[in-house]
Amino acid sequence: MPGKLGYVIFLLLVSSLVSGCWDNWEIEERGLVLGLGLDLASGEARDFPGLEGSISQAEDESRFYALTFQLPIPAAFGGGNGGGGEQEAFWNLTSSFPGSAEEIRGLAATRSSRKLYFEHLQVMVIGQELARQGFYPVLDRFLRDREARRQVQVYITEGLARDVLAVKPKDERINATYLSAMVQNADVACRIAPAMDLGLISRKIHENGAYVIPKVTVAGDDAKLAGGGVCKGDRLVGWLGEEETAIYRWIIDRVEGGSIIFSVEEQGMNLVDAYRPVTSSTRIRPQLHNGQLQVLVKIKSEGDLVERQETVDVLTAESLEQIRAAVEAEIEKQARLLIEKVQREFQLDIFGFGEEINRRYPKVWHEIKDRWEEEFFPFLPVEVQVKLDLRRIGVKR
């Protein structure tokens, strides 16, 4: 990946020599923004370098924004793949101003030799303070920009977005490349929330919908992508933990991999084993009983037993049935606990129950949709059923 990005930058620079210009900008004059951090420049963020405006200039302190632009350093890609002493491959430019993301872009240009260009933007990170008070005013500027692709990955962090972009990864030369690629690991790490891009978030905001953005955290010298931020419209409401995010994927039928850890009592001991799904499907079935809405979540899965703590590797029909029942019970328990938490704490339908009610009972939905999350969703009876088949048991060699 690092070599690929360097090759792309090299081709852009070479093409400028061949074609002379592109879109009336010389390529060598372009600052290719690969990562973008959105923060609120107040509270804990007031120590930002490069604050061009003062808090007093803003009518509302909550509209004093700070943007961090991540740009590659072309000279770092000029020669081979080098060793440990190679030049840093990117730099971050933070600029801020009350109320206007476009003005921030202009102010950033006063401290860079290159014009900022967003067509190669890979990832956008939103800081918690900005997310809590509403991030659409900043996002709007990039949604209107013909350069910025709507497929840009969007993450959210409990801290500052600029700190996430400052991480210097070991396996990529560019931080933004590293961050944008991490979401692809969901096939082995189910704790990563489903990817959300700029276009999808824009749609959710305009629908005033509820959704989950993948959460990124600075962990020492690394960044960690796990968990999720629960949002309504353009505001962060709360957080899903890592295990909650994993079971969230089961409920919304977005399982790509990972494993379920469960315990089985054998020979008087509580043993911890692991089940890895190979296939999985979830159906959400709204039902009307005596005029009362309820929802049945039916989860089916086939998979493998990939880890056992028992030293005796002999499984009887009885013990296989015990293992299957234990996995089903664990998935059912985790799903039920998450649904109850979301109903109680967030009162936001991140599972899409309302969409399924609309499909099956459109007349009922028409009557309740304006009061769905306030009056109906928090009290909706939800039953979870899990049906599991063990395909392989992984005999030891």
Please give the C-alpha separations between residue 23 and each of 19, 27, 93, 280, 334, in angstroms, as whole numbers: 11, 9, 24, 47, 53
* This model's pTM is above 0.75: yes
Main-chain phi, psi angles of 374, to 5 degrees = -85, -40
Does residue 24 carry a pLDDT above 60? no
Does residue 102 carry a pLDDT above 90? no
Nearest to 118 by CA among 25, 51, 45: 25
pLDDT of res. 7: 52
Question: What whole-number distance in Å separates Cα of residue 218 and Cα of residue 147?
Answer: 29
Q: What is the CATH number of domain 248-392?
A: 3.30.300.210
Instruction: Over range 89-96, report the average pLDDT.
Output: 84
H or E segment and range at residue 130: helix 128-133
Main-chain phi, psi angles of 355, to 5 degrees = -60, -40
Residues 29-57 have pLDDT tens digits of 677 899 999 999 865 445 555 555 555 55
Give the pLDDT band of residue 91 (cuts 50, 70, 90): confident
Nearest to 179 by CA among 205, 148, 159, 156: 156
Residue in this structure with the two tokens 């960690």, named with its chain if needed? 224
Does residue 11 carry a pLDDT above 70? no
Residues 161-197 have pLDDT tens digits of 999 999 998 888 899 999 999 999 988 889 999 999 9
Asked whether 120 and 74 are in contact (CB, 8 A), the reply is no
Listed ranges 68-82, 86-100, 205-219; the one with the highest mean pLDDT: 205-219
Please give the C-alpha separations between residue 35 and each of 13, 122, 162, 173, 289, in angstroms, as whole numbers: 20, 6, 10, 13, 51
CATH 3.30.300.210 location in the chain: 248-392
Asked whether 65 and 39 are in contact (CB, 8 A), the reply is yes
Asked whether 329 and 323 are in contact (CB, 8 A), the reply is no
Question: What whole-number distance in Å separates Cα of residue 293 and Cα of residue 71?
Answer: 52
Question: What whole-number distance in Å separates Cα of residue 205 and Cα of residue 115?
Answer: 30
Instruction: Over range 227-248, report the average pLDDT.
Output: 98
pLDDT of res. 232: 98
Instruction: Over range 235-263, report the average pLDDT.
Output: 94
Q: Average pLDDT of the chain?
A: 83
Does residue 17 carry a pLDDT above 90? no
Asked whether 27 and 16 are in contact (CB, 8 A), the reply is yes
pLDDT of res. 336: 98
Beta strand pairing call for 123-127 and 35-40: parallel
